[in-house]
Structure 1
Amino acid sequence: MRTTKKSMSETTEKPNLRLVKDDDWKHRTRNLRFCKQKLTIIEEDGLVRDFMFIVLRNEFNKKMKVTGYSNYFIKELNSARLETLEYHAKIITRFLNYIFFDKYDEYQMKDITELKIEYGNHFLRDYAQGYVGKKKKTEMTVQKAEQVLNRFYKYLFNELEDMKYISEKDFFTKHSSTYYHRGQWKKRKKVVERVESLFTVIPPNYTPPQRVKHIPSYVFQEMLNICDIHYPHLKLALCLQAFGGLRRGEVCNVSRNNISYRMFGKDLGWFTIDLREKVQLRTDGKDVGGIKKRRIQPIHPVFLKLFQEVYDQHMKLIAHIDNPYGAIFLNRDGEAMLDSSYETFFKNIVDLVLEKLCKRGDFKSASEAKLLMSGRVGTHILRHFFTQFIAELETTRSPIEVAYWRGDGSLDSAIAYFAQHPVIDEKIKKIQEKVFDKIVF
């Protein structure tokens, strides 16, 4: 793979996206694979900036070369968050390896200008069936990959002027129709419409189990009980998700430096987490997890009484650990915990809860165990728990308010305002008592 001689920021020249043609091409490239490579830059003020590249790596000697495909992230995803960059890079590298290496005997492709639309259909079919990526995919997962591939094909067509089997008409369709006007049929002008997808994807017959999206307070209570026994350092993490709607990566980004709260006497009046910027939290520079929506996220007033107790417990637990970045969720080495580690611990907690429920003989435990076994359970289930709980509150008046508490919109100013002016009326106090009765630590 030859790369453009200009820097990644220069886009005046077309990037070189061609593989070198050689008679013994297959032999020469047997150790090559396309891979994604992330570059993280930590600025002087601690802010983190991430850049994504597609490289061609020799699996034998581990040497790498940046390819012209990396320009895709500059031109198409210039302001995208890290999770989006990671996902696009994963799909594109798998696709490039598929067409150039895995299917070389069939396609004989050495040049990206020889790309055909049917190759995308083949890839998505095999991706759905699990021949690419090891396990079978849900229809929604395949649709997400299809969206990436459509965008990548369009990018290639715009970058290269000599695509052999793809033309502009593949991306647009022209429609014409006739209508009756003053005693005669007339033909309307052609209407050009954008093609929604270049591909025709047939989903696999097998559908993997869907995610479990709801757990009752009873099961959440059991999770907290398991934390008390086995994972006391994660009890606050679960509550940040269940009481504040944080995502997995956002939990791992919580530090002493982005927490704000105010006490009204002995009680917590409000509590917020500033998730507007990513900062360095580890000495090795590793990314602890993503922040999907940059915002200031409050803990819902209904949960403050319970949250205060868990927060105090956690801060006492880590009081003797001096983390230079103020991280509050730590591994055994005192470094900030990675979101992947948190996910693993969470699955262990769910397994222990399931084991506990199965050992009981009562109907309620058996039904909840069946619920947990009905699909995949991940940390995101606590965000659903939070959403459902606040949606059912008497004080919640509209879907907009639910979106506000979930941090789904551009509501940073409003969140900051309400955080500084909490309104906890008698209804909320009654609901707090109700919640406390349901979830006893």
Structure 2
Amino acid sequence: MPRNKQGHIAHDLPEQYILPFIELAVKTANPIALGIYMQCFGGIRQGELVNIRKSDVNSIGSYGEFGLVVRLEQKTLRMDIKDSAGSSGVKKPRRQIVFPIQDWLQMLYRNHIENYPPMDGSDALFVNRDGKAMSGQSYRAYFSKLKKEFLKQLRKSSNPDDLIYAVKLEEYKWSTHLGRGIFTNLLAEEADNPYDIALPRGDSNLASSLVYQGNTERMRKKLENRMQHLYKDYLPKLIKN
């Protein structure tokens, strides 16, 4: 039977692949490794990531030890590029929390700040190889490189489940939107009520309320415990090797 290409889109990764995917980003697409993390554990879209200035990021603890709160609003960091496709746009201005998982966020954020300073006066958090604010197109190019390497690693695996999943992913369309889907599904697995999903995703204007603060702290602990239980000894490997 012909494939239904309209609905043939991957929106999520099985949980056992999330942290290895981020670790692979460090090795193959390091300029956006922090962005991949912020998508998976903060639900931030590609267009929103390339709109972030360093001054928009509020670190809770040293280098995001207890999370990041990111101010997302529409800006034009690259006056020399016309983005008619909207790949560098903010869909909904808001403050977005990025959850910490063990020391992964702390290490990624420190690594990023130390290695990718903006050189064009834009104060951009994500920059290209010339030190200019990264465009949405550049971000996608790095992601495509990561995607290609991830599929290659799955195909080389001796685990039959990895090989089967590689075939599945190769049949599906997927790109940077995958991160927000991962975040939504992680929230859904641990949610006690609809607010646990809507508020961390930035779907509600209640983000400044006390209930938001309480819910996000509870969700932070749940997500961290979930990842710790799933990966156990795998967690400390990032960047340190």
| TM-score (structure 1 length as normaliser) | 0.47
Question: Deviations along 1:146-203, whole A, 9 cap, x unmatched?
Answer: xxxxxxxxxxxxxxxxxxxxxxxxxxxxxxxxxxxxxxxxxxxxxxxxxxxxxxxxxx
Q: Is 1:237–2:39 an aligned residue pair? A: no
User: Which residue does 1:409 correspond to in 2?
Assistant: 204
What displacement does 1:254 show? Answer: 1.5
- 1:400 is matched with which residue: 174, 185, 195? 195
Higher percent of residues as strand:
1
Q: Is 1:359–2:136 an aligned residue pair? A: no
Pair 1:236–1:333, CA change in 2 (3 A): same
What displacement does 1:344 show? Answer: 2.4
Matching of residues 174-323 of structure 1 within 5 Å: 207-208=4-5, 210-263=8-61, 268-275=65-72, 277-284=73-80, 286-287=82-83, 289-300=88-99, 303=101, 305-319=103-117, 321-323=118-120
Gaps of 5+ in 2: none
What displacement does 1:347 show? Answer: 1.9
Pair 1:414–1:339, CA change in 2 (3 A): farther
The answer to whether the 8 A contact 1:248-1:379 is kept is yes
Gaps of 5+ in 1: 1-204
Distance 1:290 1:341 in 2: 14
Q: Which amino acid counterpart does residue 112 of structure 2 have in structure 1?
A: H
Identity of aligned residues (%): 25
RMSD: 3.0
The answer to whether the 8 A contact 2:199-2:207 is kept is no
SS in 1 for 2:69: strand
What displacement does 1:226 show? Answer: 2.7
What displacement does 1:362 show? Answer: 2.1
SS in 1 for 2:198: helix
Question: Deviations along 1:31-68, whole A, 9 cap, x unmatched?
Answer: xxxxxxxxxxxxxxxxxxxxxxxxxxxxxxxxxxxxxx
Q: Which has the larger radius of gyration?
A: 1
What displacement does 1:240 show? Answer: 0.7
User: Which residue does 1:375 correspond to in 2?
Assistant: 172
Higher percent of residues as helix:
2
What displacement does 1:238 show? Answer: 0.2
Q: Is 1:342–2:134 an aligned residue pair? A: no
Q: Which amino acid counterpart does residue 194 of structure 2 have in structure 1?
A: P
Distance 2:17 2:24 in 1: 11
Question: Deviations along 1:225-251, whole A, 9 cap, x unmatched?
Answer: 332222111110100100100111011
Q: Which has the higher contact order (CA 8 A, sep 6+)?
A: 2
Distance 1:424 1:222 in 2: 22
The answer to whether the 8 A contact 1:297-1:407 is kept is yes
**What number of residue pairs does the alignment pair up?**
230
The answer to whether the 8 A contact 2:54-2:125 is kept is yes
Q: Which amino acid counterpart does residue 253 of structure 1 have in structure 2?
A: N
Distance 1:280 1:228 in 2: 27
SS in 2 for 1:244: coil
| TM-score (structure 2 length as normaliser) | 0.81
Distance 2:34 2:116 in 1: 12
- 1:418 is matched with which residue: 203, 213, 225? 213
Question: Deviations along 1:79-130, whole A, 9 cap, x unmatched?
Answer: xxxxxxxxxxxxxxxxxxxxxxxxxxxxxxxxxxxxxxxxxxxxxxxxxxxx
SS in 1 for 2:139: helix
Pair 1:436–1:295, CA change in 2 (3 A): farther
